[in-house]
Amino acid sequence: MDILLLENYYRQVLREKIQTYINQYEKILNESIQSFKIQKMKRIWGSCNATKRTLLFNLELIKAPSEGIEYVVVHELLHLKTRHHNEYFRDLLSLYLPNWQRAKTSLKETYLERS
């Protein structure tokens, strides 16, 4: 199978999963984004531009379990409320995603391609 074709398929599947979580958590968190993108990244699972209200997700998330994808979506959406990984941020994670530590661990077990 053509690599580009497979990559586009992965991107489509991941986009649908991420959109489902965004729809769910925008309501819960009372936050909204302008848009999100998916691209290949080497070092991070996601990022948030709070000023532009845009999110960026790593295509490699397609390899992660659903709880890992959910964690990254919630993590990035919470950056709309606070930019730092401080106690308040962790308290919000615990409130909205009680299993966040297990989900974060599942990501560490997912290979992040660095080539």
Residues sharing a CB contact under 8 Å with residue 21, sequence separation 6 or more, in sequence order: 69, 70, 73, 74
Name the amino acid, one letter, at 60: E
Residue 110 confidence (pLDDT)? 79
Give the Cα-Cα-Cα angle 105, 29, 64 (nearest 5 degrees).
Answer: 25
Residue 115 has pLDDT above 50, yes or no: no
Residue 1 has pLDDT above 80, yes or no: no
Query: Domains of the chain, with CATH numbers?
Result: 3-108 (3.30.2010.10)
Phi, psi of 102 (to 5 degrees): -65, -40
Residue 93 confidence (pLDDT)? 98
Phi, psi of 103 (to 5 degrees): -65, -40
pLDDT in tens, 65-83: 999 999 999 999 999 999 9
Residue 114 confidence (pLDDT)? 54
pLDDT in tens, 9-66: 999 999 999 999 999 999 999 999 999 999 999 899 999 999 999 999 999 999 999 9
Residue 24 confidence (pLDDT)? 98
